[in-house]
Structure 1
Amino acid sequence: MSWAAEVGLRLAPQATGEGLGILANWVAAAVALDDLRCHMGFNSEPRDFLKLVLGLLYRVERPEAGPMEPDPHPLCGAFVGLSQRVRAHAPVEQWRSWVSALKNWLLGVTGESSLSVSDHLTLRTGAIRLTHVLIEVAEGTVLPAAVSAEPAVRAATDAAYALVLIGSDLYSPRRELAAGTAAPNLVGLLMPPGGTVEDGIEAAVRLHDRIMVFYTSMVGQLTSGDDEQMRRYFEQLGHYVRASLDASVASATSVKSVPGWALSPTDGSLTAPPIPAIAWWWDQLDRQS
Structure 2
Amino acid sequence: MTGLRARFQMPPFYCPIEPALHPDADMIEKRAIEWLDRVGIYENETQRTRVIGTNSAEFFSRFTPEGVDDNVLLAAQWVYWGFAFDDVRCDRGPLSDRPDRFVRVAGRVQRVIEAPHSVDTADDPYLGALHDIGLTMRELATPTQVRRFIDAHRAWLHAVAWQIGNQARNEMPGLNDYITMRLGSCGGFPTMALLEIGNGAEVPAHEMDHPTVRAATEAAVLTAGLDNDLHSYRRELQQQHTDQNIINVLMHHEGHDLERALVEAVGLRDRIMQLYLRLHAQLLPEASNELRTYLTCLGKGIRGNVDWALRVPRYAAPSPPDESSTGSQHRTPVWTDTPSDRTPGPPAVPAISWWWDRVEHDE
TM-score of the aligned structures, taking structure 1 as reference length: 0.89
- Residue of structure 2 in register with 1:125 after alignment: 183
Structure 2 residue identity aligned to 1:87: R
CA contact (8 A) 1:43 1:181 kept: no
* Most deviating of 75-84 and 257-266: 257-266
Alpha-carbon shift at residue 180 of structure 1 (Å): 5.3
Output aligned runs, 1:1-289, within 5 Å: 1=26, 2=29, 3-36=55-88, 37-40=90-93, 45-65=98-118, 67-68=120-121, 71=123, 73-112=124-163, 113=166, 115-126=173-184, 127-179=187-239, 182-191=242-251, 194-225=255-286, 227-251=288-312, 252-254=315-317, 260-288=334-362
Structure 1 residue identity aligned to 2:128: G
Tell me the secondary structure at the aligned position of residue 82 of structure 2.
helix
Seen in structure 2, the aligned counterparts of structure 1 residues 163 and 270 have a Cα distance that, compared at 3 Å, is same
RMSD (CA atoms): 2.6
Structure 2 residue identity aligned to 1:39: R
Alpha-carbon shift at residue 99 of structure 1 (Å): 1.5
Alpha-carbon shift at residue 186 of structure 1 (Å): 1.4
* Most deviating of 217-226 and 238-247: 217-226
Separation in 2, partners of 1:65, 1:226: 38
CA contact (8 A) 1:8 1:20 kept: yes
Alpha-carbon shift at residue 98 of structure 1 (Å): 1.2
Where structure 2 has 5 or more consecutive residues not aligned to the other structure, the ranges are: 1-25, 30-54, 167-171, 319-328
Seen in structure 2, the aligned counterparts of structure 1 residues 225 and 146 have a Cα distance that, compared at 3 Å, is closer
- Residue of structure 1 in register with 2:49 after alignment: none
Structure 1 residue identity aligned to 2:148: S
Alpha-carbon shift at residue 102 of structure 1 (Å): 1.2
Seen in structure 2, the aligned counterparts of structure 1 residues 44 and 147 have a Cα distance that, compared at 3 Å, is closer
Alpha-carbon shift at residue 267 of structure 1 (Å): 0.6
Alpha-carbon shift at residue 63 of structure 1 (Å): 0.6
Percent of aligned pairs with the same residue? 29
CA contact (8 A) 1:170 1:258 kept: no
Separation in 2, partners of 1:174, 1:280: 32
**What is the number of equivalent residue pairs in this alignment?**
287
TM-score of the aligned structures, taking structure 2 as reference length: 0.72
Tell me the secondary structure at the aligned position of residue 201 of structure 1.
helix
Alpha-carbon shift at residue 227 of structure 1 (Å): 3.9
Tell me the secondary structure at the aligned position of residue 310 of structure 2.
helix
- Residue of structure 1 in register with 2:23 after alignment: none
Separation in 1, partners of 2:242, 2:108: 25
Tell me the secondary structure at the aligned position of residue 205 of structure 1.
helix
Alpha-carbon shift at residue 197 of structure 1 (Å): 3.5
Separation in 2, partners of 1:243, 1:211: 17
Which ranges of 4 or more aligned residues in structure 1 deviate by more than 6 Å? Answer: 256-259
Structure 2 residue identity aligned to 1:64: H
The structure, 1 or 2, with the larger RCO (C-alpha pairs under 8 Å, 6+ apart) is 2
Seen in structure 2, the aligned counterparts of structure 1 residues 181 and 107 have a Cα distance that, compared at 3 Å, is farther
Seen in structure 2, the aligned counterparts of structure 1 residues 21 and 196 have a Cα distance that, compared at 3 Å, is same
CA contact (8 A) 2:250 2:256 kept: no
Separation in 2, partners of 1:124, 1:42: 19
- Residue of structure 1 in register with 2:16 after alignment: none
Alpha-carbon shift at residue 85 of structure 1 (Å): 1.1
